[in-house]
A and B are shown apart, each in its own frame.
Chain A
Amino acid sequence: MIETQELSKKYGATVAVDRLSFRAVPGRVTGFLGPNGAGKSTTMRMILGLDAPTSGSVTVNGTPYRQHRYPLHEVGALLEAKAIHPGRSSYNHLLAVAQSNGFGPRRVTQVLELVGLEKVANKRAGAYSLGMGQRLGIATALLGDPGVLLLDEPVNGLDPEGIIWVRNLLKALAAEGRTVFVSSHLMAEMALTADHLVVIGRGRLIADTSVADFVASASSGRVRVSSPDSQRLRQLIAERASEVSPIEAGVDGDSPTFTVSGLQRSVIGDLALQHGIAVHELTSEAASLEQAFMELTADDVEFRAQDPNQFTQHEAAPVAASRKA
């Protein structure tokens, strides 16, 4: 169990984390989502007692981290991949970390096998790819077989096979009753991995909710309808629905389509049947986690690129002008 209360961190005038309160409970994967610069890593460092909060508090299993004496048996963490001396082998790296908490070579060999690094265990870590570095970081976190796991962007730099491996590993660890707290800026990945989401933007809590509720809360509620007789069907629906879009011509021989707001699919389907109109498509436009995230954090992104369309227009204009001249 990880619990923060009114947790804040200021660097001079900059507020990195702003009165953040949430709980990550055992038995589920809690995704920690936010755009870059939202304060995810700062929060993680505060949980681990590496950074001191400006105000507020955070406990792991009911105790502030720095009061744990030899905590690897309770908490495992991956903060950054390849946070290891490039000249040291992963075996010796893991051994040094293990020994500090009373574990020995036996356990090191076990975690090396668990993450699939046993064949390169004696190679210098400097030669590792980012993906291998992530595996080594996960091995380090698992050394003490802890009940609480904190992982900062664990799938960064992994290949598809590695991503699936991490996803399944995290789910399995949570299923054993562990607290799994994992940060990411990849919404799609979190949709597949996490049970619960803590979303932050500019250091503030935006949402603390289940993944399903998070998506539902941002759903458009629109239904997409496609029919060979779109004209007539649209007419019928327009009398009942709050909003109906203009008809778009079908592509590649598909029927023309339009979208409806404020009417359930079943109502539309029944209506079409009553009037003998064929329906080729009837789908709810559920927002993806990505869309939900973008909508929720739209005002809380610290670094935003210019709109690409705007950008190209600005760039294109002088070129066009010079061509004319």
Chain B
Amino acid sequence: MSTIAPIFVSSVEPDHRPGIVGVARSEWTKIRSLRSTSWTFFVTAVLTIGLGALFSLGRTSGRAPGRDPITANFNAAGFAFNALFLSQLAIGVLGVLIITAEYSSGMIRTSFTAVPQRGAVLAVKAFIFALVTFVISALATFVTFFASQAILNRGTLKLGVSITSPHALRIVVGAALYLTVCGLLGVALGALLRSTAAAITALAGLLFILPILMNFLPVSWHRDAIAQWLPSNAGMQIIEKATQPLQFSPWVGLAVFAGWVAVAFAAALVLLRRRDV
């Protein structure tokens, strides 16, 4: 070139100092700007409330005092949350999608070009998703609790309890935490496997199929000792009134579940740093 090129000076300055807060803003924009994401949150909430109410209705209909073999052990506060077995899948799939959709569209390259600290992107994405999931899940579980108690209190049976009764608050908040951990399990599996189909299969396998398989193992294989460690088994102890036989106590169970997810996340972070995008 014969002419000397001018030294380029950018005239556009960032509005904020670039940093982790900016990455959080970015991930929040990604979550709120997809209609499919809002719908899946909505479906999770509807499944939780609707099925919880239905279960409660089923428990009370056709029963009358004396004819109902209710024991003192009936878990009125947590009964409706047996319905989480379905909503856990909805929120888990959403967790998978918020990361695998970036891989399938190619958006992940833009994300990692904008912020080359890949671990930070994944961590912030998971954090923002967990926050939104917990808020929506908590709204859903509180509504479920009050709807469920109203149904259980119908007629003459009066099975319902109040939110101030022992363990009730822990169960309601714990159910929301359980859903949040399910969502994070989806994120971790999605980041690990990078394919929507593979990650959803793994998610369903862990949450659904593994517990069923366990039932068919010989007891002599320490089946019960192993079964209590299964992710969904351990996690669901949080909706129990008291520690169940051959199971972890509620908080320990949830911690075991969260531990599994943490292991999956650690593996995903290591691979994220090493693999080509």
Contact = CB atoms under 8 A, between A and B. Distances in A.
Contacts of B30: 85, 88, 92, 96
Interface in A79-108: 79-80, 82-89, 92-93, 95-104, 106-107
Nearest to B15: A104
Given A70-B18, A87-B36, A107-B12, A27 B112 contact: no
A88 B22 CA distance: 19
A145 B105 CA distance: 25
A49 B14 CA distance: 23
Given A26-B8, A87-B36, A79 B1 contact: no
A28 B14 contact: no
Contacts of A164: none
A51 interface: yes
Q: Interface extent on B, as a size class?
A: 35 or more
A203 interface: no
Most central of A70, A79, A80, A195 by chain B CB within 10 Å: A70
Contacts of B16: 102, 104
Nearest to B104: A85
Contact of A85 (B17, B105, B276): B105
Contact of B115 (A77, A79, A101, A175): A101
A65 B114 contact: no
Interface in A173-190: 174-178
Contacts of A195: 1
Given A85-B102, A101-B114, 12 more contacts: A48-B113, A66-B116, A69-B117, A79-B106, A83-B105, A85-B30, A85-B34, A93-B33, A100-B18, A104-B16, A144-B12, A145-B10
Interface of A: 26-28, 45, 48-52, 65-73, 75, 77, 79-80, 82-89, 92-93, 95-104, 106-107, 110, 140, 144-147, 174-178, 195
30 contacts: A49-B113, A49-B116, A50-B112, A50-B113, A68-B116, A69-B116, A75-B113, A79-B109, A79-B110, A82-B106, A84-B106, A85-B34, A87-B35, A88-B30, A88-B34, A92-B33, A93-B107, A95-B33, A97-B111, A99-B25, A99-B26, A100-B18, A100-B22, A101-B18, A101-B22, A102-B18, A102-B19, A107-B15, A144-B14, A176-B8
